[in-house]
């Protein structure tokens, strides 16, 4: 048997077998380690970003965004954002002006319908009215006369007058669509939009005939779309939220599409 040579380990005061010294493991420098860590984080971030870049069709489906691609070319829709200029419309519980809600929702509806190939005519695209008289009642008559003329000249397939509602009972809420009682196609068009709005609001409101000025004084399928109650504190808060406005606009546009497809 081969004998192992023993050496005296002074540090530990013990006898240990003599062995060959181990080779030292080469460790990366501090700069190299930080560099490799940064590169790893960069690659992880890039992978996460790529995973978010979904197919447009899939992304559209998740957000209920229709891929229309000009499906309704040849159709004309007039959109009338109610009030404007010196006429604020209804005033909400926190002083939100109806005119400032009607316009952005109407513009969102316009963009969606244009995507579908619809010829969209906007009665107003800024905060204005169309009267010139100094008296409020005369100016309002002039404003309404201008709006009805735009509608009649357009020979539109459907006219959408976008409004917000108000009621003494602050618990009243929900969107509702009105049609002219003498319109043969009004109920069908109103119900198509109402069904879509009910999906957004979670309410079960039904369409109603009415005699509003823009309904009775225009030619064609004219609807007044009351998108919610500014007199309800919770609904007023929603109506000024851009994401909620997108949902309401989408519901209106989809309702128009449903009507056109019938």
Predicted pLDDT of residue 30: 54
**Backbone angles phi and psi of 232, in degrees to 5:** -95, 120
Q: Are 29 and 21 in contact (CB under 8 A)?
A: no
User: HSE of 16 in the Cβ direction (CA atoms, 13 Å)?
Assistant: 9
DSSP 8-state secondary structure symbol assigned to residue 74 = T
How many CB atoms within 10 Å of residue 139? 18
- The pLDDT value recorded for residue 71 is 78
Residue 14 has a pLDDT of: 41
pLDDT of residue 162: 98
pLDDT at res. 262: 84
Mean pLDDT, 10 residues at a time, over the chain (262 residues)? Answer: 43 44 52 55 54 42 54 93 98 98 98 95 98 95 97 96 97 97 95 98 96 93 98 98 97 96 88
pLDDT number for residue 256: 97
CA gap 9, 38 in Å, rounded: 45
CATH code linked to domain 70-261: 3.40.630.40
Rounded to two decimals, the pTM is 0.76
Tell me the domain boundaries of the chain: 70-261
Distance CA 216, CA 185 (A): 14
Would you state the pLDDT for residue 6? 41
Query: DSSP label at 87?
Result: B
What pLDDT sits at residue 65?
53
* d(C-alpha 26, C-alpha 55), whole Å: 47
Nearest C-alpha neighbor of 103 from the set 242, 262, 254? 242
Are 98 and 88 in contact by the 8 Å Cβ rule? The answer is yes
């Amino acid at each position: 048997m081969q004998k192992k040579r023993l050496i005296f380990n002074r540090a530990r005061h013990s006898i240990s077998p003599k062995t060959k010294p181990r080779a030292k493991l080469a460790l990366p420098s501090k700069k190299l380690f930080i560099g490799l860590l940064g590169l790893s984080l960069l690659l992880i971030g890039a992978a996460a970003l790529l995973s978010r870049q979904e197919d447009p069709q899939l992304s559209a489906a998740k957000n209920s965004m229709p891929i229309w691609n000009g499906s309704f070319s040849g159709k004309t829709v007039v959109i009338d954002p109610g009030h404007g200029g010196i006429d604020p419309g209804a005033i909400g519980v926190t002083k939100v002006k109806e005119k400032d809600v009607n316009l952005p929702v109407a513009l969102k509806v316009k963009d969606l319908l244009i995507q579908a190939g619809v010829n969209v005519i906007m009665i107003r695209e800024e905060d204005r009215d169309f009267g010139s008289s100094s008296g409020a009642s005369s100016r309002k008559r002039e404003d309404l006369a201008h709006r009805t003329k735009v509608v009649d000249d357009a020979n539109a397939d459907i006219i959408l007058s976008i409004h917000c509602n108000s009621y003494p009972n602050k618990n009243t809420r929900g969107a509702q669509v009105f049609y002219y009682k003498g319109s043969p196609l009004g109920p069908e068009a109103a119900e198509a939009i109402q069904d879509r709005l009910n999906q957004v609001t979670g309410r079960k409101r039904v369409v109603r005939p009415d005699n509003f000025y823009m309904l009775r004084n225009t030619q064609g399928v004219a609807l007044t779309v009351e998108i919610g109650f500014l007199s309800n504190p919770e609904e007023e808060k929603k109506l000024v939220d851009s994401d909620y406005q997108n949902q309401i606009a989408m519901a209106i546009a989809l309702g128009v599409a449903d009507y056109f497809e019938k």
